[in-house]
Structure formats: structure tokens, C-alpha cells
Amino acid sequence: MIYQKEGKLIRTFEGERMQIEAWGENSLRVRVTRLHDFVKEDWALLEPKKVEARIHIFDKEEKEDTMKVNAQERVVDNGAEMINGKLHLTLTKEGKMIFSNSAGKILLSEYECDRHSSLGIRSRELKCNSGDSFKASVKWNSLPDEKLFGMGQYQNGIFNLKGSFLELAQRNSQASIPFVYSSSGYGFFWNNPAVGRASFGYNMTEWEAYSTKQIDFWVTAGDSPEEILKNYMEVTGKPPVMPEHGLGFWQCKLRYRTQEELLNVAREYHRRNIPLDVIIADFFHWTLEGTWAFDPQYWPDPAAMVKELESMGTKLMVSVWPTVSVHSPNYQEMKELGYLVTAENGVKINMLMIDPTSFTDVTNPDAREYLWKKIRENYVKNGITDFWLDVAEPEYSSYDFENYRYYAGAAMEVGNEYPVLYTRTFFDGLKKENVNAVNLVRCAWAGSQKYGALVWSGDIPSTFESFRTQIICGLQMAMAGIPWWTTDIGGFHDGDNRDPKFHELLIRWFQYGAFCPVMRLHGNRNPQLGALSTVGGGRCGSGADNEIWSYGEENYEIMKYYIELRNRLKPYIRELMEDVNKNGGSVIRPLFYHYFEDSDAWEIKDQFLFGDAILVCPVTKYGERKRKLYLPKGTVWLDANSDTVYEGGQTIVCEAPLKRMPVFIREENKELKKLFV
């Protein structure tokens, strides 16, 4: 039976209940369940603006009615049609969904075997696991020529995701955000925080949730990548305005072991007259995980430290982990109150680092309130309002998702939302303090952006191969609705500050970092520094020096230039940040974002646009002093490092000396060229 109720299109058939409704402009939300009703959670979707969709249900006398779909006549036998702006849905009598645009082009159609096939493959399934839990899947006919982008951050180096199989789960350096943009002119969001898989095959596309109560997805149509991304961010959220200190240079290393170490670094930047917007106190500035306070032996006066830093124009950011050591004075209380993630089987320990620990269960609103009270008491009252939310996936020592349970349900069913709620804990708390939050966080899911999530790409290797991958990761995150993103400049693992080859990698990464949404130097450099003691924060060692003067005078001068360039670009960056706050969109953009009519722009994965005016061309190979690059057609490009002018729509070979990375400026924005002195 197909009928409409309160502006929704509803179909019931053999125990399956489907509901389709307008959810934002040019967009529809679809839910399907075998339960008696839908779950109340909207997950990442915000309450949409009121939009009226047109619904027409074909009665039995309209069997001969036809619809134009992609220049083909399609008979609708007792089915229905729903239209919201540029997105049209045909629901057939058999319950198959066909999405098309206003020109009649098919965008998505549920997978259908040939009617004479014996395969018996179903396009939509809810297979019972146990009780009210199902393994859910939806299959779509593949458009072999479409190109797919977004989905968050996967360390696979793949730009066009067509042909990929992606795990829908969070891991260190993997942020799964199930929104995909198609070059065919649609966006698809799998609104389900369950662990699962997305398969973008050439024979079919399939979305799976391994344990869930319903199918829930959202589809949008538009005329450009920008329009579709903004449609998505309209219903999942836009970021707040980036604080002013987020626009400049951030200094970090693994790890400043004492208050005096950190202050001496900031003092040296100040003495050299190098602008330092943020410096970070990394993990184990505490005595134990789950105390959320400075170790007084090594950090005796946090308030005085903050005051001195701010006198030099520098903000302090502190690392916060959701882990709670079994030795923490808060552990037993949190365990008894149900504020910790539990295990279905075995010992209820989630992560092993220095001590056995469990994770704070941030799906529990009372646990979030408990955590924030500790943060407020030990950090905010000392003037600290910038937080690095590490281990936010959360990072289980063993990613056996089926063994963990949250207040909100089994990890298999709700686990991907954990990083959103972890970030929200700090966003909500800081909002009460009238602070505009920027939360550096190691993972994200859909909607994280509205809570001030600045995602970085995790603990990645210090290699040129990894560097190339991060460029793609940043662009995929941008197309998945995360406009605040960054990396560890130089990578995290195995960079040796004595190695000339690493020096070159660091310089090339530093140049790229100057054009990321946030510019942040970090990494665990070799040779390692030992522990200071056997107690408290002294138990944790550190990496070698990682300040810009740690790599020799020639490299220092190059990095100094790019910090100063970043400072000169601040007014431009501020405009970009204000625009994404107001309208959605991204800060860094693949070339096709603006040049989607240029077929060559869709193939470029090692260049990107910084806003709409600056074309950035990182150098990603050791020893490379020239690089081949593409200039999108439709405009004239000015070489930022010379007086050369190029017509767009051509591939060139550009000089790339170690001290400069190729950058080009759109002729319409030629006033920016004077910043590249």
C-alpha cells in the first residue's frame, strides 16, 4: 500500500515500512524498517527548513500513465512520484526507487536483476541478526562513468573512489564520513552510525550496516559540486567562525615534558620575532589518564604559563584523552556510575598504553557533563579554552567493534558517532563560557563540523608516499563536509631530525601546510628522549626537537618565510572561514569544485584550490626541482613566484626549487600576488 500522510510518502508491504520526506532543498530522506515504527534518532541530520514536496500517487486506473525518465518511457503501475526542486523520485509498484534530476537524467536507481534472472538478488534487505537488530543493505545500479569523492579520510591514496570498498568504521588516521558526491550530479548520505561497508563497484553500489534497526539515507541533486556540498552541510551543519588564533602558525611536538620546556620554545619564537599563534602541551602533561589535570611536579603553575604565553600573542592548547586509567582516582566512580565503555566479553579494558584504561562513554550525556566539569575545573579556570581531543575514534587496542558497548547501544550499531559526541562535549561546555571553540580532533563523523571539529589526519608515517596521500585525504574530507582539517607537518612516525632526506620532506610538507585550513607543525622525531622519572607524567618520554630552528639555518629561513606568508594571508583566510560558517562549502577544494566543466580538472589529485583564488601545487617527490602541473581552463593564472602569466587549460612544467613551492593566483585576484614577496 502506498499513501501520503503529513507531506510524507509512505509504503507498507509484507512487513516492510518505508517513509520518504523532503529534507532540505532539492533533497529527500528515506527510511525503511521492519519494526512497527521508525527509531526517533535523526543522527547527523538537523531539523530541515520547511520544504513542500509534490506527491502524486498513481491509482489503479492510471496503469497506462508514463513518466519521462532519461528520454525513456517508464510505465508506473500503481506507484508514486515525489518531487522536491531538482530531485525527482519514482517509486514503482514493486517498491523500487529511481532518483532523477529535473532534466530527467537518472541519478540513482535501485539494483534490479533482469526479470528472467534466477539470481534472486534483492536491492534492499533487512536481515534479522537477533531481536530488533538487522543487517541492512541497499544496492544501486552502477553508473560506470561516474566519479565519486568524499567519504572522509582513508589512507589509501585513491582520489576517484569508483571501484573502492570502504570500511564504515573509525580508526586512528581513518575518519569514516558516509557522504559521497557523484560527478553525475547527486550527493548520497548514509545516515547510519553503525559499523558497515560502502562498495562502489562497477556492477553495483552497495551500502551496508552490520547491525541496525533501519535503513536511513538522504539524497540531494544539484548543478555543481559546490551546490551539492552546501545542500549536505545545510542539513548536517556548518562550522562556527574560526577563532583568530586559528588562522596562523601552530607549534607542537611529541611532547613538551615540562612547563619550562614549553615556555622556552615560545620565548624563542618571540625573541626571533616569528608569529606563533598556538603552542600545544601534548599528552601526559597529566599524572594519570583520566585525571584531566596538569602534573604539578612538571607543570607547577598553569595559570602563570597561560598568562606569559598570551603576553607574547600565543594561545595554549592542551591534549585531552577520553581514556581513564584503572589507577585514576576517578576510575571507580565512573565505573560505578556507568560512565565508561564496557566490553561484552573478557576484561573491560579498552586500551593499553602506559596503564590499562577504559574510555569515557561520551554517548552518555551524564558522562559528558562529568568530563566537562573536570575540564572546567582544571583547565578553563586556568585560562585554557583550546583543546586537542586525541584518541577520539576511540582508538581501541584491538578494533573488535563487536565486543564494545555504549550507553547508546552496541558499538556495532552506534559506534561511528563517538567522535561527534566527544567533540560536542567541549563545544557545548565552551559555549556556556562564551568561547568560540576550535577543537583539534583525530576523528570525525557526519555533523562533527558544527561542533568546531578541526580534524587532523592522525598518526601517519613521515614519508613522501604518506605526504601524497594526505593531499587526497584533505580533499576527500572537504567534499565530506569537514572544512577545518590539517595534518602533522612532516608526518608523525619515524622522521629523524638529523636526516637530510627528512629535512627535504619536512620543507615540502611545511610549504603545503601553509595552505591547509590550519598550519600545524607536529611529529614524533628521532632520536627519542627518555623518561624524566618513574612517576606521574615523568614516566612518558618524548621525541627530539621539532622547532623550525631544529633543522639547520637554510631550512629555518624557508620555514620562516612560509610562516610569514601565512600571516600575510590571514585576511584572505578569514574571509574563507567566514564564508563556510555562513554558507557551507570548503576551504581547500579539488580543481573540479569550481572547474567542473573542465574534464581534465576531475583527474588532478596532487593540486588543489585554496579558496577560489589560489591554486596550490605541492612538490611530493624527493629531489624534485621541477614539477608538471595543470592550470584549469576558463581563467588566466599568475605565477606567484615570478612574473609569468599563463592561459588556463594547459599542462606546464614549472620550476620548483627547494625554497619555493609552485603557487598560482587567478588573474581576477591579482592583488594577492603582492603577498608572495
Q: How high is the pLDDT of residue 62?
A: 55
Run of H or E including 654: strand 650-655
pLDDT of 556-608, one tens digit each?
999 999 999 999 999 999 999 999 999 999 999 999 999 999 999 999 999 99
Residues in the chain: 677
Q: How high is the pLDDT of residue 534?
A: 96
Q: Is 552:263 a contact under the CB 8 Å cutoff? A: no
Q: How high is the pLDDT of residue 114?
A: 57
CATH 3.20.20.80 applies to domain 248-549: yes
**Residue 69 pLDDT grade (very low, low, confident, very high; cuts 50, 70, 90):** very low
For CATH 3.20.20.80, list the domain ranges present in the chain. 248-549
pLDDT of 156-173, one tens digit each?
999 999 999 999 999 999
pLDDT of 462-474, one tens digit each?
999 999 999 999 9
More confident residue, 391 or 113: 391
pLDDT of 12-26, one tens digit each?
999 999 999 999 999
Share of the chain above pLDDT 70, in %: 97
| Region 262-271 average pLDDT | 98
- For residue 141, pLDDT over 90 is answered with yes
Question: What CATH class does 590-675 carry?
Answer: mainly beta
**Comparing C-alpha atoms, which of 393, 485, 471, 414 is closest to residue 171?**
393
More confident residue, 653 or 49: 653
How many whole angstroms separate alpha carbon 195 and alpha carbon 447?
17
The torsion angle over the Cα atoms of residues 162, 166, 170 and 172, rounded to 10 degrees, is -80
- For residue 65, pLDDT over 90 is answered with no
pLDDT of 272-313, one tens digit each?
999 999 999 999 999 999 999 999 999 999 999 999 999 999
Q: How high is the pLDDT of residue 60?
A: 61
pLDDT of 486-516, one tens digit each?
999 999 999 999 999 999 999 999 999 999 9
Catalogue the active-site residues: 390, 393, 459
Q: Is 53:7 a contact under the CB 8 Å cutoff? A: yes
Q: How high is the pLDDT of residue 120?
A: 78
Run of H or E including 215: strand 215-221
Residue 92 class from Cβ within 10 Å (0-12 exposed, 13-18 middle, 19+ buried)?
buried
**Residue 77 pLDDT grade (very low, low, confident, very high; cuts 50, 70, 90):** low
**Residue 66 pLDDT grade (very low, low, confident, very high; cuts 50, 70, 90):** very low
**Residue 118 pLDDT grade (very low, low, confident, very high; cuts 50, 70, 90):** confident
For CATH 2.60.40.1760, list the domain ranges present in the chain. 2-221
How many whole angstroms separate alpha carbon 633 and alpha carbon 607?
15
pLDDT of 170-209, one tens digit each?
999 999 999 999 999 999 999 999 999 999 999 999 999 9
Q: How high is the pLDDT of residue 311?
A: 98
3-state DSSP helix/strand/coil percent for the chain, to nearest 5? 25, 30, 45
Q: How high is the pLDDT of residue 149?
A: 99
**Residue 113 pLDDT grade (very low, low, confident, very high; cuts 50, 70, 90):** low
Query: What's the chain's average pLDDT?
Result: 95
Residue type at 26? N
What is the pTM for the complete model shown? Answer: 0.96
**Residue 59 pLDDT grade (very low, low, confident, very high; cuts 50, 70, 90):** confident
**Comparing C-alpha atoms, which of 141, 109, 132, 93 is closest to residue 214?**
132
pLDDT of 361-389, one tens digit each?
999 999 999 999 999 999 999 999 999 99
- For residue 75, pLDDT over 60 is answered with no
Run of H or E including 205: strand 204-212
- For residue 74, pLDDT over 60 is answered with no
| Region 42-59 average pLDDT | 93
**Residue 112 pLDDT grade (very low, low, confident, very high; cuts 50, 70, 90):** confident
pLDDT of 402-450, one tens digit each?
999 999 999 999 999 999 999 999 999 999 999 998 999 999 999 999 9
- For residue 623, pLDDT over 70 is answered with yes
Extended beta strands in 299-419, E state: 315-320, 323-325, 342-343, 351-352, 356-359, 386-389, 404-406, 409-410
For CATH 2.60.40.1180, list the domain ranges present in the chain. 590-675
Q: How high is the pLDDT of residue 608?
A: 99
Cβ neighbour number for residue 527 with a 10 Å cutoff:
9
Q: How high is the pLDDT of residue 183?
A: 98
Level-2 CATH architecture, domain 2-221:
Sandwich (2.60)
Q: How high is the pLDDT of residue 78?
A: 75
